[in-house]
Amino acid sequence: MSEFPASAKCVVIGAGIVGNCLVGHLTKLGWNDLVLLDKGPLPNPGGSTGHASNFIFPVDHNKEMCLLGVQSANQYRDLDLSVDSGGIEVARTQERMDELQRRMTSATAWGVEAHLLTPEEVAELVPFVNTEVILGGFYCPTVSVVDSLETGTVMRRLATDNGCRVLANTEVLDIVAEPGPNPGDHTVKAVVTDAGTIETDYVVIACGVWSNRLANMAGATIPLVPAVHQMADVGPMDILAETGNEIGYPIVRDMDTFCYERQTAGSMEVGSYAHRPIFHHPDEIPSNEEAALSPTEMPFTPDDFDPQMEQAIELMDMLGDAEIKYAINGLLSLTPDAMPCLGEVPEVRNLWSAAAVWVKEGPGMAQVVAEWMTYGYPRVIDAHGADISRFYPEERPDEHIWARSAEHFNKTYGIVHPAEQWESRRNLRVGPYFSRQQDLGAFFFQARTWERPQWFESNADLVERYGLGEREVEWDNRWWSPITNAEHLNLRDNCGLVDLSAFQIYELAGPGAVAFADRLAVNKIDVPVGRSIYTPWLTPDGGFHSDLTMMRLGTERVRVVTGVFDGGRDEFWVRRHMPTDGSVSFANVTDHITTLGLWGPNAPAVLGAVCEADLSQAGSPYGSLVDVELEGGTGRPVAATLFRISYVGDTGWEIYLAWDDGPAVWDALMRVGADYGLRPTGGGVYGTSGRLEKGYRLMGAELESEYNPLEAGLARPRVKAADFIGKEAYLAAREAGDPEVQMCVLTVEDLHDSRGRKRYMQGGNEPILTSDGERIVDSHGRVSRVTTAGPGPSLGKHLLMGYLPAELAVPGTDLQVMYMNELFPVRVAGTGAVFDPDDSRMKS
Amino acid sequence: MRILCCVKRVPAPGARINVTADGLAVDAAHLGFTTSPHEECGVEEAVQITERTGGEVTVLTLGPAEAAEQLRYAASVGAHHGVLIQTDGAAWDPERTARALTAAIEALEESGGPFDLILFGNESADSGGFQVGVRVCYSLGRPIVNGIKGIEINGSTLRARREIDGGFEVYELAMPAALGVKEGINLPRYPTMRGRLASKKLAITTMEIDAEAGGQALVRLHRPAETLSQTTILGHGPEAAPAVVDVLEELGVL
């Protein structure tokens, strides 16, 4: 027996599909001093991989999940450990048929072959389906069944052949992290097991359902919960046995009952996502020794499964007389937002998470983590949605994880609108104006943990004034109100007041603050005090990590203002890159500062009524920061910083205030604004319609690590002298000449569908196609798709944004967009603003 | 034929049985529950007999309300009736159990007529007392043979076969009679989906019967120390041959 390793460059904990693929991918990328350990035996240590259904339906509306599913399926294929069985999602309702049209749209976007089938066509492929209960099906020939255990073994062997040591039956007792290098930081040092301690530079937790318990050992969190997915294996049935194959018929997903039927040799596996959410704390999961089957194959609770049996028999009558040979409450991992947990954990340096990953995306996500560890960022895809640093502190406790996972478990096969809001765990973070906004009938959207008004029912009168109305089709109208268009038009005519309290605000201070800020940012931060800088932060490969505003508040003080969706990632990025010499201190001041946006032609008059400062473009120039006093109506002046900027295309300010001063200023502005048509204005204008008309890019939508500032149209004429993260790649991209693709704004020229109904694209990755209906894909494999869609009320057009190859990124180019599997004509408006393109309204 | 099967709800054990802190029970925190395996075979046998000869199978259990799950399972594989003597879940000693079962059987026979055959499991999977069936039959004045691995029904008599060293014994009993059956008598079927769904509709008769405790008290359960074994890999492929020879010589095989 080989000696227990006293040290390793990296210890990977967990030998399921993810851990095995991870050591394989790390080995391919040149890592060799690896240890892979698991508390269970090999090749099946008892985690979720061992009882997985092992099939991959490649189409998902979510880009990361879809493309990493496809990537994973291809990795299984490359190892010859995969069979393309095909798969059909069947619909029992018209609503589901509409959803299948949306699936077709996503299939087109991601380049996955798919066909809509009539019930009879479904029966041609799966003759034992009862055609009377279905309206149709969505067929993907490339749905595959994979051998995840053998794939794990092959990937593990690849690693062991190159020096990776594997320790089975070895349980982790502790993960040691020590303080440093900066105050509040910790860094991983060692893994303590029941067989000895391994000193190590990196630890990756790939322990599936146990991951949070392991992370907790180091003082970190991996927000996931072990959740039951019930499965029953029924058979034998002659028609299946006669195929002579493990899988001879396409897999059927009975979408409206949240069930699937998957052949496994002579039997059928019936799996359910329809039962009540059943969760277990990791400490409740039995050990390998205690478990009747395996730790993650928990005792079946038949009462929960009975309704699914009835539905399964309804779809496939032969199942009724088949024997239930094996049935489990199988455990898998769920997270609060239904996305995986990948990347370095924010609490402990060099401690990584590769968790909440299912077999269907395991190899691809392992590749993501391996690249991230090697290159400082994933290369195969932008993975911001899976980045574990996305979670705010309020999203990490069990209370939140369990509530949210319970809410989305039954939506696994659900029809989820792109704008769908959570019901549970609301009002976690609210701005100081919350009660006032409630009084005004605000309809709140939650951005991660923060409540933001999307529109105000108190503005319903404007709908009539502007002659607006509801959208024709309920789906397009869902999570939307014509009030948002009315607020938009009122802002353009008068002015609007926008609550921006969810801005995440950090301050860097100290002698090294400006130099460090410059290291993060593409654009120059070492500017005169009082200036602001809108800038990308790049990955080492030159793609977008962030896109935000920095403010030079003092000679040794820089403020960072970023969007609420990116706060967790951006704070982590700052802390992870901070100098370790003590020259820079970091403070998150989000809770202390509230921001109000005041925009519109009447904004200067409204602000002027509570402020004696010179608000002209001379006294408060565009892009400047000016400290002023406002009359807050409380008898004492309120200190504020006016930042003359606009994300909506009209003149005005972001007004930065002490949190507690916010309500008085809100009241004062609303009072004096009444004479100027001021209305509270929601995120529908700020985040979508106002932004879209100006062509402003949004991190996470237009801006991803797969695109660089040249392609996004955000490159400045010159590059600063100071070094910054991603500079080398950025310079190389600039030297390579004109970008291959450019971010464009497009107008939808005709909204009518084949039934004569006006339809409104939602910005859910709808593919942009040539006038011949062909997909548009660049040399990197990036597809042209809608990154944001929304109304342009001032233009009377529905607007889209998306990357297009340079030859198509020409104003006037006619293209098409697919929405709900129908084609609509669109025209390229340009790469910049379609409303007030010379910015005269903002700068006047 | 009227056949009664007595079954017991027992934990479905893992590889290691844990004992509760007070030492008085199996720790079932990680365990599901099942029907004691000999009794599962008893139900199967009863169902097969009635499938051949006609009649009905009643399944009787003593246990907590959750033991209805075992009755439904029996119904899902073909049993017709289920009777639960409901307890608070505490373990009952064999005498107490036998007294309660006897009382229940007498009540069931009074209302529905005598059972031609009563099937017990040879012993329960958890406590393994080997005596409840014998005690019940003694009280009822009915013959019983244990260790049965084969049953033939011939009119009003039955032949029961049990394995002994080097062969088997065959008993002929006039019915009404009772047998304690052992695993191996048949291969119990799994429930079908329809069977499971039908079992949901089973009307379970619940009885509340208390009985005097017997003299056998559980003092404490001990988990035996795990016997660890060591495996030595002698080598891989042809290179391992000399080491294998050495071991065989050491064992005196060569």
pLDDT < 70 positions in chain A: 1-2
Assess A318–B contact: CB distance below 8 Å, yes or no. no
Which residues, in sequence order, are bridge partners of residue A331?
A228
Contacts of B16 in chain A (CB under 8 A): 287, 289-290
Which residue of A234, A291, A310 is in closest CB contact with B197?
A310
CA distance A525 to A512: 12
Closest residue in chain A to residue B190, using alpha carbons only: A323
**Residue B179 falls inside a structural domain:** yes
| pLDDT at A1 (0 to 100) | 45
Look at B42 and B215; give whichever has higher pLDDT. B42
Domain count across chain B: 1
| pLDDT at B222 (0 to 100) | 87
CB pairs < 8 Å spanning A and B? 67
**Residue B39 falls inside a structural domain:** yes
Assess B63–A contact: CB distance below 8 Å, yes or no. no
Indicate the Cα dihedral angle B240, B243, B245, B250, nearest 10°.
-160
Assess A312–B contact: CB distance below 8 Å, yes or no. yes
Which residues neighbour A807 within 8 Å (Cβ) at sequence distance 6 or greater? none
Mark out the alpha helices in A746-828 (DSSP H runs): none
**Residue B238 falls inside a structural domain:** no
**Residue B233 falls inside a structural domain:** no
CA distance A482 to A473: 13
Q: Indicate if ipTM > 0.95.
A: no
For residue A140, what is the enclosing H or E element?
A: strand A136-140
Which residue of A291, A312, A320 is in closest CB contact with B30?
A291
3-state secondary structure A180-208: CCCCCCEEEEEEEECCEEEEEEEEEECCH
**Residue B237 falls inside a structural domain:** no
pLDDT digits (tens, 9 = 90+) for B4-62: 999 999 988 766 788 888 988 888 877 889 999 999 999 999 999 999 999 999 999 99
Tell me: cis bond preceding A181? Omega within 30 of 0 counts: yes
Contacts of A288 in chain B (CB under 8 A): 15
| pLDDT at A2 (0 to 100) | 64
| pLDDT at A770 (0 to 100) | 98
**Residue B246 falls inside a structural domain:** no
Q: Pick the closest to residue B223 from B66, B16, B13 (CA basis).
A: B16
Chain-chain contact of B15 with A288 (C-beta, under 8 angstroms): yes
Look at B238 and A486; give whichever has higher pLDDT. A486
Which domains are present in chain A? 7-46+150-225+337-409 (3.50.50.60), 52-145+226-329 (3.30.9.10), 504-589 (3.30.70.1400)
Assess B14–A contact: CB distance below 8 Å, yes or no. yes
Cα dihedral A290, A295, A300, A301 sign: positive
Checking if the pLDDT of B228 tops 80, the result is no
HSE, CB side, 13 Å, CA atoms: give it for residue B96. Answer: 17
Which residue of A284, A292, A325 is in closest CB contact with B190?
A325
| pLDDT at B15 (0 to 100) | 66
| pLDDT at A171 (0 to 100) | 97
Asked whether A308 and A274 are in contact (CB, 8 A), the reply is yes
Contacts of A285 in chain B (CB under 8 A): 30
**Residue B60 falls inside a structural domain:** yes
Encoding tokens for residue A381?
Answer: 């895809």
Å between A308 CA and nearest CA of chain B:
10
Å between A334 CA and nearest CA of chain B:
21
**Residue B215 falls inside a structural domain:** yes
CA distance A500 to A502: 5
Angle at B120 between CA B118 and CA B125, to 5 degrees: 165
Q: What is the CATH number of the domain that holds B189?
A: 3.40.50.620
Contacts of A313 in chain B (CB under 8 A): 193-194, 197
B19-48 residues touching A, CB cutoff 8 A: 29-33
| pLDDT at B19 (0 to 100) | 87
Cα dihedral A446, A447, A450, A453 sign: negative
pLDDT digits (tens, 9 = 90+) for A456-499: 999 999 999 999 999 999 999 999 999 999 999 999 999 999 99
Assess B190–A contact: CB distance below 8 Å, yes or no. yes
Encoding tokens for residue A92?
Answer: 């029992």
Chain-chain contact of A321 with B189 (C-beta, under 8 angstroms): no
| pLDDT at B126 (0 to 100) | 87
Domain containing B8: what range? 2-227
Q: Pick the closest to residue A152 from A5, A288, A50 (CA basis).
A: A50
| pLDDT at B229 (0 to 100) | 77
Indicate the Cα dihedral angle B135, B140, B143, B147, nearest 10°.
-40
